[in-house]
Amino acid sequence: MKLSFSVNGTPRTLDLDPRVTLLDALREHLQLTGSKKGCDHGQCGACTVIVGGRRINACLSLAMMHEGDEITTVEGLSGEGLSVLQQAFIEHDGFQCGYCTPGQLCSAQAMLDEVAEGWPSHVTEDLNAPAQLTQAELAERMSGNLCRCSCYPGINAAILQAAGTKAADPA
């Protein structure tokens, strides 16, 4: 089946079996191997990409479901140089093996937009107050991205620096 979508600003057309997931389309058919396959079942977040501004698990979506969509992968996060978020991950040692990192980056990038739009989270005390990016909020909002190297302190510090926020509650 024919499929056209935009990946990192470039229009792409593919001819795919309907069984191909968005993740496999990106990795195997477009050679964009930044997005990683950890579990292939929505349980780890390594495959996180941004579709129409929202983060999703590319492993639990069929490529065919994305006709006409605008997709951003980790390869599309940087412009001339690294993005503020990517730079912050380096400064704060936000990774060890790096396998979860593309997913962490895409997830964090879109998560910061959710916060800017005032979306609440499970740990938000007042559903109707503006969202604050505390350590607890960060842990909850990024819980869809696991890191087997447990680099969470570095990842959290990097995201907070990129958000230009100082954690309201330490620890």
Partner 1 sequence: MRPFDYSRAADADTACTAACAPDAAFIAGGTNLIDLMKLEVLAPSALIDIGHLGLDQIEEQGDDLRIGATLTNAELAADHRVRRRWPVLSRALLAGASGQLRNKATTGGNLLQRTRCPYFYDTDTACNKRNPGTGCSAIGGEQRNHAILGTSEDCIALHASDMAVALRALDAKVEVRTAGGSQRRIDLADLYRLPGDTPHIETCLAPGDLITAVHLPAARGDRQQYRKVRDRASYAFALVSVAAVVGMKNGRIDHIALAFGGLGTLPWRDPDIEALLTGEVPRTALFERAADTLMRDAEPQDGTAFKVALGKRVLKAVLTEVTA
Ligand X SMILES: Cc1cc2nc3c(=O)[nH]c(=O)nc-3n(C[C@H](O)[C@H](O)[C@H](O)COP(=O)(O)OP(=O)(O)OC[C@H]3O[C@@H](n4cnc5c(N)ncnc54)[C@H](O)[C@@H]3O)c2cc1C
Smallest separation, CB 163 to ligand X (Å): 26
Work out whether 92 is an interface residue with partner 1 (CB under 8 A). Answer: no
Q: Is 55 exposed, middle or buried (0-12, 13-18, 19+ CB in 10 A)?
A: buried
**Nearer to ligand X by C-beta: 45 or 76?**
45
Work out whether 72 is an interface residue with partner 1 (CB under 8 A). Answer: no
Residues 17 to 56 in contact with partner 1, rule: CB under 8 A = 17-19, 21, 40-42, 45, 48, 54-56
Among 4, 18, 28, 43, indicate the residue that binds ligand X (CB under 6 A): 43
Work out whether 76 is an interface residue with partner 1 (CB under 8 A). Answer: no
Work out whether 42 is an interface residue with ligand X (CB under 6 A). Answer: yes
Work out whether 18 is an interface residue with ligand X (CB under 6 A). Answer: no
**Nearer to ligand X by C-beta: 2 or 122?**
122
DSSP string over the chain: -EEEEEETTEEEEEE--TT-BHHHIIIIIS--TTS--SSSSSSS-TTEEEETTEEEEGGGSBGGGGTT-EEE-GGGT-SSS--HHHHHHHHTT--SS-SSHHHHHHHHHHHHHHHHTT---TT-S-TTSPP---HHHHHHHTTT---TT--HHHHHHHHHHHHT---SS--
**Nearer to ligand FES by C-beta: 60 or 120?**
60
**Nearer to partner 1 by C-beta: 65 or 90?**
65
Give the span between the Cα atoms of 72 and 31, in whole angstroms.
14
**Site residues, partner 1 (CB under 8 A):** 1, 17-19, 21, 40-42, 45, 48, 54-57, 60-62, 64-65, 67, 107, 111, 114, 117-122, 124, 127-128, 139-145
**Site residues, ligand X (CB under 6 A):** 42-43
